[in-house]
């Protein structure tokens, strides 16, 4: 029997491949139900089982090809960004992204966020982070850093200002006080905070080094 030849995997659409699977097999895969998959496969004849398994192998190979192509496309689109930002986006790590942006000049960080939004690397729910004007926090961050570096004179005034911000929905007072006490772990400090609070805390830690 002549061996069936297949077109190059890159020329095959995964949806077209999946359409060739029996409905029960497709449903089991969609539901990630291994038992249902095994039962559906066992109900097929031997020749049909071979066809289905060959199709699944080709489908898996094609998905790997598509994922690799998507990754290469993403890397090319992000190539102009600072390495920390690029790695954070590729890893899908919002905390790392916020930390990397916090280490950049405010205008550059804002432009990068807007570029990521327009290119689809950040979802619409991240729009609030893009709208944060970091330059507004420079005087506050400077005062926070001064206290952290051993100048306690500004602490009461900073705490009063942070308390006022809390009334506006910010949650920076607690994390800042913990930073003054010597805590430096970003993930612990920002636990429960929203993206804007997290980004400001990340900026403070980056400046402290």
pLDDT for res 5: 44
pTM higher than 0.75:
no
73/31 Cα distance (integer angstroms): 30
Of 157, 136, 147, the closest CA to residue 199 belongs to 136
pLDDT in tens, 31-89: 888 999 999 899 999 999 999 899 888 888 888 888 787 777 767 777 788 888 888 77
| Mean pLDDT score across all residues of the chain | 80
């Amino acid at each position: 029997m002549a061996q069936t030849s297949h077109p190059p995997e890159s020329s095959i659409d995964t949806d077209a491949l999946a359409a060739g699977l029996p409905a029960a097999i497709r449903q089991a895969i969609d539901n990630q139900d291994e038992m249902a998959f095994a039962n559906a496969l066992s109900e097929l004849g031997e020749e049909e089982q071979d066809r289905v398994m060959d199709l699944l192998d080709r489908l898996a190979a094609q998905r790997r090809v598509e994922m690799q192509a998507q990754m290469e496309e993403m890397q090319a689109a992000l190539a102009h960004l600072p390495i920390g930002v690029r790695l954070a986006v590729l890893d899908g790590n919002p905390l790392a992204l916020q930390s990397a942006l916090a280490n950049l000049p405010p205008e550059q960080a804002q432009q990068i966020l807007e570029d990521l939004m327009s290119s689809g690397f950040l979802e619409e729910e991240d729009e609030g982070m893009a709208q944060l004007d970091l330059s507004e926090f420079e005087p506050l961050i400077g005062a926070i850093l001064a206290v952290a570096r051993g100048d306690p004179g500004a602490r009461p005034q900073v705490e009063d200002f942070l308390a006022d911000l809390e009334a506006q929905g910010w949650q920076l007072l607690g994390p800042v006080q913990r930073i003054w006490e010597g805590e430096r772990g970003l993930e612990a400090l920002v636990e429960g905070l929203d993206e804007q609070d997290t980004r400001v805390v990340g900026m403070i830690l980056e400046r402290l080094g």
